[in-house]
Amino acid sequence: MKEQILNYEKDFFKQSFCSDIRNLEKRLSKDFYEYGKSGLIYDRAIVINHLNSLPSDRQIEILQFELTQLSECVLLVNYISHHKDDNSYALRTSIWKNEEETWKLFFHQGTPQHN
């Protein structure tokens, strides 16, 4: 399961995945929201629109990926993202819920990591 969710997180960095809006609609919970590293709060529609308009793959590496199963249908994910374009790092947290027999991203937060 850990490898599957890691790959699901990486999909959001791939233009080939994000360019198909159906992929995003299937992967994000209907109640999805995000606290961005910018400090802003984003709802599902804003995130889908943003990801769907990516011009190319995002150059992001996932470091120290950890997954904790909180219940049969809820997963907590923590990792550090390394944004290679500006050499910045962010602490990331995701909550994944098993909905309709598939894992969907329910919540995501990015917090800038200062060196």
Residue 109 has pLDDT above 90, yes or no: yes
| Range 2-5, long-range pairs (CB < 8 A, 24+ positions) | 2/65, 2/67, 4/103, 5/67, 5/75, 5/77, 5/96, 5/103
The pLDDT tens digits for 3-44 are 999 999 999 999 999 999 999 999 999 999 999 988 899 999
The 10 Å Cβ neighbour count of residue 48 is 19
Residues 44-94: tens digit of each pLDDT: 999 999 999 999 999 999 999 999 999 999 999 999 999 999 999 999 999
**All domains of the chain in start order, with CATH:** 2-113 (3.10.450.50)
Which residues, at least 6 apart from 30, have a Cβ–Cβ distance to it below 8 Å? 44
DSSP string computed for 65-101: EEEEEEETTEEEEEEEEEETTTTEEEEEEEEEEEETT
For residue 89, the cross-strand partners are: 82, 113
Widest pairwise Cα distance in the chain = 41
What per-residue confidence (pLDDT) applies to 115? 65
Where residue 64 falls (left for φ over 0; alpha for ψ -120 to 50; beta otherwise) is left
